[in-house]
Structure 1
Amino acid sequence: MEPAEFKNQVWALMRDITDRMNGVFHPIIDRYGLTIMQMRVLFEIRREDGCTVSGLSRRVCAAGTNVSALCKRLEREGLLERSRDPRDERVVHITLTGEGRRTVDEVDALVTRAFPLLNEEDAEVILDGMQRLSLLLQKRDSIQENP
């Protein structure tokens, strides 16, 4: 397959997957009054059992100022807590509150049930393909960095 055709098919599939995943997530997270990005942030904080704003912004590929504003809103809603590092006031640590953890756990359970057709073999094939694409892109990045 030609690289241009591969790229076009990957883009089309990524758009389709994103649209369909939003179709799974939106009806669930709308019940909690959250956006996709807010939920993604909460899931990332749970995955790491806390983090910093700068680390979180790298993981969700968003500007630190945007993530910081989003976290302030989630703090006002009682879903997370922010605290400054006593050694360096510029560093802000984020952890889920009990309510935040319950919300993430509930949404996670609902989303998991939204995939009833997924069997073990399909899951392995899908994840293998995604990992291969990620490795291909990593190799491309390392070639670009070291011309």
Structure 2
Amino acid sequence: MYVDEFERELVILAYDMKNLLRESVAPVCQEYGLTLQQLHVLIMLQKRPGVTLSDLSVRAGILRTNFSAICRKLETHGFIERRRNDKDRRACELFVTQKGHELLGVIEQTVRKQHEQVFANEPPETFDTIVKGFHALESLIAKARA
């Protein structure tokens, strides 16, 4: 029964999160010429610099063919760069550029300002609990994919 409740709540939460992103983050991305998918890739790449295109495509859950186009656009705008792997010249590692880091900072600040009133009234423990929950969910998802 507990698993059923978890799955039901997960679907509801995923839907609510998708709507929150679409309503609050997507317009900010559009201001800077980004899509939510491109922002997702930048954030993941910031978290794991030097990952290969194929590994990041799998982690992001985006088909390799679509993912290459997303990375090309980010690279064209100067937000990411590809570097050849010294050990395997066929492999390219991806990195967020200084311009990309600056853009992520601006987007983060803009979104934070949108939610400032709500966030200001919450104790730090609330955010600690939520982040721990995110990490637990991420771990569970990784196990499910293995």
Q: Distance in 2 between matches of 1:136 and 1:43?
A: 20
SS of the residue corresponding to residue 34 of structure 2 reads: coil
Whether 1:56 aligns to 2:60 is: no
Distance 1:132 1:76 in 2: 35
The one-letter code matched in structure 1 to 2:61 is C
Aligned to 2:65: 65
- Counterparts in 2 of 1:85 and 1:130: CA distance versus 1, 3 Å: closer
Q: State which of 120, 125, 128 in structure 1 corresponds to 2:129.
A: 125
Which structure 2 residues correspond to residues 54-93 of structure 1 after superposition, within 5 A? 54-93=54-93
Distance change in 2, residues 1:129/1:45 (3 Å): closer
Task: Classify 1:86/1:60 alpha carbon distance in 2 versus 1 (closer, same or farther; 3 Å).
Answer: same
* Distance in 1 separating the partners of 2:61 and 2:133: 22
Mark the structure with the bigger radius of gyration: 1
- Contact 2:49-2:94 within 8 A present in 1 as well: no
Deviation of 1:80 (Å):
1.7
In structure 2, the CA distance between the partners of 1:123 and 1:82, relative to structure 1 (3 Å rule), is same
Question: How many residue pairs were aligned?
Answer: 142
TM-fit CA distance, 1:2:
5.3
Stretch deviating more after TM superposition (2-11 or 100-109): 2-11
* Aligned CA distance change for structure 1 residues 88 and 19 (closer, same or farther; 3 Å): same
Relative to structure 2, which stretch is displaced further, 123-132 or 10-19? 123-132
Partner residue of 1:19? 19
Instruction: Establish whether residue 40 from structure 1 lines up as the match of residue 40 from structure 2.
Output: yes
In the TM superposition, residue 133 of structure 1 has moved relative to its aligned partner by: 4.2
Residues 137 and 81 from structure 1, CA distance in 2 versus in 1: closer, same or farther, beyond 3 angstroms? closer
| Structure 1 alignment gaps of length 5 or more | none
Is the partner of 1:89 in helix, strand or coil? Answer: coil
Tell me by how many angstroms 1:110 deviates. 1.7
Task: Compare 48-57 and 129-138 and name the one that shifted more.
Answer: 129-138
Secondary structure, counterpart of 2:62 in structure 1:
coil
Q: Percent identity among equivalent residues? A: 29
Letter in 1 for 2:31: R
Post-superposition Cα deviations, 1:5-57, rounded to whole Å, max 9, x if no partner, equal 44223212211121112212112111101000101111222223443212322
Identify the residue that residue 96 of structure 1 maps to in structure 2: 96
SS in 1 for 2:115: coil
Normalising by structure 1, report the TM-score.
0.77
